[in-house]
Every structure is written in structure tokens, then in C-alpha cells.
């Protein structure tokens, strides 16, 4: 199997990515386009911010723009392409690294900016992840995270895996926080009591001794969900401690 040339790779690039990157594609027959991909992205994000990802459809986005559904197919080929545009526009360009800071401060700033983006648009967590990012803004976020490790002895693949580890921590933490924060304190307390009762019944001390010790602890009156400051930083520091150990081994 021969090596794919740059021209062949560009020709095989999905239309939505060609448009996002400003690559000229052959003009389609029909009237001149009446709006831009950014208009489609803004309309879709508005719907998702108001009603979640389930509120987004080709027909609803078209209606938001005042056009027919078929008109959108001059810009995007499928709903998955719509998600690509939404993700690229929702995050925007990645923040720059604080000058003069060490790698730990830089990746912390990146993680907090990533967290804030997810909190602004929680529907992002509902978008199926089927392939690595290729849109312009998403690559700026990847590049920014990789740059955070400049000055460390980590190899490129180690920087990538470290970035992915931080990414997964942030996504998981925000997803957990958003789910918990939708409940009232009373609902959270009742759910915790029910879970503890069921756990005590099922996780018997002879089979699950470690879990059984949890059920013997007092249940807090209210779960303290603080993923903006201390709670978020505490978990992130645990992740970064692991990366620090890897850096020390590499050095």
C-alpha cells in the first residue's frame, strides 16, 4: 500500500473540516450560500445551551436561521458534521500559557479553562467521541496542552498521554459535578441514604470487606460538591503528582 500524498489527504478531508480550515472546495451547483458555518454553529449552540444536545436537529437549526433544512446540506453533510462545528465554536481558541510559569502551573491553567468551557456548555459531554479532534480550535487546545510540558524531559508521546490524562480527569469531574448539582440538597441526602442502605445489604463484610467499611461511616448531611476551587484542584494535583513522578523518572 503506497503512501498517501498531501493532496490525496486533503481531497479525502470531510467537507466540514475543509470549510473550517478555509480550504477551497469545488463549488456546488445552486444559489450562492446565504450564511456561514459560524452562523450554523451559533444557532446550534443556542439550542443546545437551552435544551441540551437532544434539542439540536438539522430542522431546528434551519428554523433558527430562517431557512429550510435542505439548505443546511450545502454546508454540512450530516448531523455529526454539525457537532464538529458546534465543538469548534463552543470552545474557541485555547488560552495562552502564562509566561514564566512552570509546567504544572501551565497545565493547571489549561485544565481550569477546559473545565470552564465544559461548565458553560455542558452538552459538550453528550457529544459522542468517535475520532480524535481535527478542527482548528480543537487542535489549538491540544497544542496548548502539549506546550504546557515544554522544558520537561517528556517525549512527544508522553506529553500526549499526560494531556489525555488531564483531559479525562476534567471531563469526568465536570460530568459528575453537573449530575450532582442538578439535585436539591434534600434529594441528594435521600439518594445517599438509599444507596448506603442498599450497599449495606448487598456488600456484606465477608465478601466485600473494604466496601463494607464505607457503610459503617456516618452519612454527611449534605454532599459537598466543590469542583470549582479546592475540590477540583485537589483531584487535579493528584493527577499532576503522577505526571511529576513520570517527569522525574524521565529526567
Last residue of a domain, one of 70, 91, 112: 91
- Please state the pTM of the whole predicted model: 0.82
Q: Which of 61, 91, 121 is the last residue of a domain?
A: 91
130 and 51, same structural domain? Answer: no
Q: How many Å apart are CA 197 and CA 201, to the nearest integer?
A: 6
172 and 70 fall within a common domain? no
Asked, for residue 51, whether it belongs to a domain, the answer is yes
Compute the average pLDDT of residues 117-146: 93
The angle at the Cα of 129, spanning 94 to 40, to the nearest 5 degrees, equals 65
Task: Flag whether 34 is in a domain.
Answer: yes
Give me the pLDDT at residue 223, please: 47
Number of domains in the chain: 2
Rounding to the nearest 10 degrees, give the CA dihedral for residues 184, 185, 191, 192: 150
Same domain (yes/no): 144, 64? no
What whole-number distance in Å separates Cα of residue 95 and Cα of residue 147? 12
What is the tens place of the pLDDT at every residue in 44-61?
999 999 999 999 999 999
40 and 14 within one domain: yes
> pLDDT per residue over 51-99, tens digit each?
999 999 999 999 999 999 998 888 898 999 999 999 999 999 898 877 7
Distance between the two ends of the chain, CA-based, in angstroms?
39
User: Do 72 and 62 meet the contact criterion of CB atoms below 8 Å apart?
Assistant: yes
- Asked if residue 148 and residue 238 are part of one domain, the reply reads yes
**How high is the pLDDT of residue 57?**
95
Please state at what angle helix 103-120 crosses helix 156-181, rounded to 10 degrees.
Answer: 40
Distance from chain centroid for Cα 18: 22
| Judgement on whether residues 175 and 239 belong to the same structural domain of the protein | yes
The burial class, CB within 10 Å (0-12 / 13-18 / 19+), for 232 is: buried
Expressed as residue numbers, the domain containing 38 is 6-91
Amino acid at each position: 500500500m503506497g503512501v498517501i500524498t498531501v493532496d490525496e489527504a486533503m481531497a479525502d478531508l470531510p467537507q466540514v473540516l475543509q470549510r473550517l480550515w478555509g480550504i477551497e472546495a469545488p463549488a456546488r451547483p445552486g444559489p450562492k450560500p446565504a450564511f456561514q458555518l459560524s452562523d450554523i454553529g451559533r444557532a446550534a449552540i443556542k439550542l443546545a445551551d437551552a435544551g441540551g444536545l437532544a434539542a439540536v436537529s438539522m430542522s431546528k437549526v434551519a428554523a433558527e436561521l430562517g431557512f429550510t433544512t435542505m439548505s443546511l446540506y450545502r454546508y454540512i453533510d450530516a448531523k455529526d458534521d454539525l457537532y464538529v462545528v458546534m465543538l469548534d465554536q463552543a470552545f474557541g481558541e485555547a488560552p495562552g500559557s502564562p509566561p514564566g510559569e512552570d509546567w504544572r502551573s501551565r497545565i493547571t491553567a489549561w485544565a481550569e479553562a477546559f473545565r470552564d468551557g465544559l461548565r458553560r456548555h455542558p452538552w459538550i459531554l453528550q457529544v459522542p467521541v468517535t475520532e480524535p479532534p481535527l478542527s482548528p480550535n480543537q487542535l489549538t487546545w491540544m497544542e496548548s496542552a502539549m506546550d504546557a510540558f515544554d522544558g520537561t524531559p517528556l517525549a512527544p508521546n508522553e506529553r500526549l498521554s499526560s494531556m489525555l490524562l488531564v483531559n479525562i480527569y476534567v471531563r469526568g469531574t465536570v460530568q459528575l459535578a453537573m449530575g450532582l448539582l442538578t439535585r436539591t440538597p434534600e434529594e441528594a441526602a435521600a439518594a445517599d441514604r438509599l444507596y448506603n442502605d442498599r450497599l449495606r445489604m448487598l456488600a456484606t463484610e465477608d465478601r466485600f470487606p473494604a466496601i463494607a467499611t464505607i457503610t459503617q461511616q456516618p452519612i454527611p448531611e449534605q454532599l459537598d460538591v466543590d469542583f470549582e476551587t479546592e475540590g477540583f484542584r485537589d483531584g487535579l494535583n493528584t493527577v499532576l503528582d503522577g505526571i511529576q513522578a513520570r517527569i522525574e523518572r524521565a529526567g
